[in-house]
Amino acid sequence: MVETEAVDAQKPAKIKVRNLTISYSEKPALRNTSFDVYENEIFGIIGPANSGKTSFLKALNRMDMFTESMKVEGEIQFNGREIREWRNVYALRRRIGVVFPLPVGLPMSIYDNVTIAPKLAGIRKKAQLDEIVERCLRRAALWDEVKDRLDSLGSLLSGGQQQRLTIARALSQDPELLLLDEFSIAVDPVTTMQIEEMLKELRKEISIVLVTNLVQQARRLANRTAFFLGGECVEINDTEEMFTGEVKDTRTREYVEGRFG
Amino acid sequence: MFEATDLNIRQKKIEWLVRVLFLVMAIFLIAPVLTILAVLIHRGGPMISMEFLFGDPLNGMTAGGIFPALAGTIWLVAVALLVSIPVGISCAIYLSEYAPENWLTRMINLAIINLAGVPSIVHALFGVGAFVYFFRFGTSILAASLTLAIMSLPVVIVATLESLQAVPQAFREACWNMGATRWQTIRLVVLPNSTSGILTGTILEISRTAGETAPIMFTGAAMFLPFLPQSVFDQTMALSLHLYTVSTQIPDVPEALPYGVALVLIGLIIGMNALSIGFRMYLRGKKKW
């Protein structure tokens, strides 16, 4: 289904996906998909529920190791290396930050929530940890609300605050690749805008895969957008092209215009 | 429009009846507990004194105190816990956090269910065969405590499993996503949030172990010893066996004596349970999510 132009050999690829098929107990969730995610871009993935978006993110982070029924076939290369050949899967996951739709404030202090990942990476100096906490919480637009109570429980924050804490935690890993799965679902529109601005800044340093239900969010942020439908990658296109110009598949036009899905 | 129909009235009556029925059943549960306590306090209460608690049995156990038995029970329970807690908690962590769906896991689960169903006298015979003879511990605190430990393992495992499973899966996934290993996740997120349940389960298990008679009577508990145990290789007296002895094996025991022993035993157990309940209430007060 994928047009050959979508696989552009000129730009450096952060992730290369080739013939990827993901299935749960023999039931396919994503079929025979190939595309690249480049360095320093936001790659949007849109599509209705059950189209394989989240499964793709899980496969990227090797979370299939924790789901026995989940089977991943085909190739996923990260930095030019097949992810299943990384001997140290923990090192792989440390380079990939993930934010899932439901906020998870771990039942420990806000400070500890943000310092888990740096501590796992071996950072011990208090000053350095303090700096990471402030930088990540600022980027996640949460700093001003919690800077005076960093030792209170992260799990007792409001839903929107917990989601921003989750984002801060993903950033604290200093990831090369950030996977966002409907991050704005529990966040108010003003804060969402702040985070979107941060993501545009962050794009200069890392690659971001943005799975979103909000078609307009993909339009605001993504350089290129993929449209997944029923476990199939229908189309990959430059975002502006997809929304204003020529689409390669009429189903894409119908979806982005809100006529189905 | 809003008048009660016949159907409404009937439903209301049934609701009332069912409620009363359940309440009566629940009260049935309290009745035996209160009766036992009342009888024990009434008849055994006058026995309780410092000499009774801290004195040696005299005149062929028809008089004097129960200190060797009290100390022996504490010995037995302590050594049993030293074994059953590390083994039980490790086993529960494996089952909850590591075990894949395979034949080994099913075997372990089956073993736990079967272990819980084995009658205590059978545990006693196993203890005699395994610990007293095969491992040559002799009849000793060690053999008796190991028998008690094996008997109480299922309780520790099930209680620990339940508290581990109560920690939301999302917490684990958040940790794994950051590149934490399973053990790091257990240490950072799972154990700190299940300690209260594990401790509560453990304390409840102590009270169960303290009252057992059958598993210890052939493996390490003696009816009468004129001295306190010096090491785990000595035999010991125990409250539960002492109660059995003074109520059935010895003629001319004053009537109040067995009640006094029973009161001390049940006081020990209720005290432990109260501690456990208090602890649970304290930790529930600072629940973290």
Q: How far is A117 from chain B (nearest CA, A)?
A: 6
Find where tokens 């060690």 sit: B142
Question: Rounded mean pLDDT of chain B?
Answer: 89
Query: What is the token pair recorded at B207?
Result: 């009270």
Is B86 a residue whose pLDDT tops 80? yes
Angle between helices A189-202 and A159-172 (to 10 degrees): 10
pTM here?
0.83
Residue in chain B closest to A109 (alpha carbons) equals: B288
Q: Which of B97, B102, B177, B194 is the best residue to mutate to test the A interface, defined by the most A CB atoms within 10 Å of its own CB?
A: B177
Contact A166 B174 (CB under 8 A): yes
pLDDT of residue B289: 67
Total domain count, chain A = 1
For residues B180 and B171, give the distance between their C-alpha atoms in angstroms, rounded to a whole number.
12
Confidence of residue B25 (pLDDT cuts 50, 70, 90): very high
Is A2 a residue whose pLDDT tops 70? no
Is B147 a residue whose pLDDT tops 70? yes
What residue type is B139 in one-letter code? Answer: T
Residues of B in contact with A98 (CB under 8 A): 177
Is A250 a residue whose pLDDT tops 80? yes
Q: Which of A120, A171, A180 is the best residue to mutate to test the B interface, defined by the most B CB atoms within 10 Å of its own CB?
A: A120
Is B1 a residue whose pLDDT tops 70? no
Is B30 a residue whose pLDDT tops 70? yes
Residue in chain B closest to A60 (alpha carbons) equals: B177
Residues B112, B92 contacting (CB under 8 angstroms)? no
Residues of A in contact with B180 (CB under 8 A): 90, 116, 120
Q: How far is A255 from chain B (nearest CA, A)?
A: 31
- Asked if the interface predicted TM-score (ipTM) of this complex is over 0.95, the answer is no
Residues A168, A139 contacting (CB under 8 angstroms)? yes
Is A180 a residue whose pLDDT tops 80? yes
> Once rounded to an integer, what is the mean pLDDT over residues B71-87?
92
Question: Rounded mean pLDDT of chain A?
Answer: 88
| Domain annotation covers residue A179 | yes
**What are the strands, taking DSSP E only, across A9-50?**
13-24, 27-38, 42-46
Contacts 24+ apart (CB under 8 A), A116-124: A116/A169, A116/A172, A116/B175, A116/B178, A116/B180, A116/B188, A117/A169, A117/A172, A117/A173, A117/B178, A117/B179, A118/A172, A118/A173, A118/A174, A120/A94, A120/B178, A120/B179, A120/B180, A120/B184, A121/A94, A121/A173, A121/A174, A121/B179
The string of pLDDT tens digits covering residues A93-151 is 999 999 988 888 999 999 999 999 999 989 999 999 999 999 999 999 899 999 999 99
Contact B178 A93 (CB under 8 A): yes
Beta bridge partner(s), residue A18: A75
Residues of B in contact with A173 (CB under 8 A): 178-179
Q: For residue A74, report the phi and psi dihedrals to the nearest 5 degrees.
A: 95, -170
Helix (H) / strand (E) element for B144: namely: helix B141-165
Contact B288 A116 (CB under 8 A): no
Which B-chain residues 178-217 have CB contacts (< 8 A) with chain A? 178-181, 184, 188-189, 192-193
Would you give the DSSP letter of residue A245? Answer: S
Q: For chain B, first and last CA: distance in Å?
A: 45
Q: Which residues contact B86 (CB under 8 A, 6 or more apart)?
A: none
Three-state secondary structure string covering B53-73: HHCCEECCCCEECCHHHHHHH
Provide the H-helix boundaries in chain A: 53-60, 89-95, 110-120, 126-139, 143-146, 159-172, 189-202, 215-221, 239-244, 250-256
For residues A57 and A41, give the distance between their C-alpha atoms in angstroms, rounded to a whole number.
16
Whole-number percent of chain B with pLDDT over 90: 57
Residue in chain A closest to B172 (alpha carbons) equals: A106
For residues A121 and B179, give the distance between their C-alpha atoms in angstroms, rounded to a whole number.
9
| Domain annotation covers residue A233 | yes
Whole-number percent of chain A with pLDDT over 90: 54
Residues of B in contact with A104 (CB under 8 A): 170-171, 173-174
For residues B33 and B36, give the distance between their C-alpha atoms in angstroms, rounded to a whole number.
5
| Domain annotation covers residue A236 | yes
Neighbour-count burial for A109-132, b at 16+ CB within 10 Å, e otherwise: bbbbbbbbbbbbeeeeeeeebeeb
For residues B82 and B79, give the distance between their C-alpha atoms in angstroms, rounded to a whole number.
5
pLDDT of residue A10: 58
CA distances (Å), origin A217, targets A222, A232, A246: 8, 21, 20
Q: Across the interface, which of A66, A94, A153 has its CB nearest the CB of B179?
A: A94
Confidence of residue B190 (pLDDT cuts 50, 70, 90): very high
Whole-number percent of chain A with pLDDT over 70: 95
Q: Does B173 touch chain A (CB under 8 A)?
A: yes
User: What is the CATH topology of the domain spanning B66-285?
Assistant: MetI-like fold (1.10.3720)
Burial label for A156, CB within 10 Å (0-12, 13-18, 19+), is middle
| CATH code of the domain containing A175 | 3.40.50.300
> Once rounded to an integer, what is the mean pLDDT over residues B223-247?
89
Alpha-carbon A225 to chain mean position: 13
pLDDT of residue A4: 43
Residue in chain A closest to B179 (alpha carbons) equals: A90
Q: How far is A119 from chain B (nearest CA, A)?
A: 10
Residue in chain B closest to A179 (alpha carbons) equals: B177
Is B264 a residue whose pLDDT tops 80? yes
pLDDT of residue A51: 87
pLDDT of residue A5: 46
Is B182 a residue whose pLDDT tops 90? yes
| Domain annotation covers residue A261 | no
pLDDT of residue B241: 92
> Once rounded to an integer, what is the mean pLDDT over residues B220-225?
86
Domain that holds residue A115: 4-256
Confidence of residue B225 (pLDDT cuts 50, 70, 90): confident
Q: Pick B286 or B189 by higher pLDDT.
A: B189
pLDDT of residue A249: 85
Confidence of residue B280 (pLDDT cuts 50, 70, 90): confident
Beta bridge partner(s), residue A36: A16
pLDDT of residue B58: 85
Cα angle A95-A97-A102, degrees, rounded to a multiple of 5 = 160
> Once rounded to an integer, what is the mean pLDDT over residues A140-168?
91
Which B-chain residues 83-102 have CB contacts (< 8 A) with chain A? 100-101
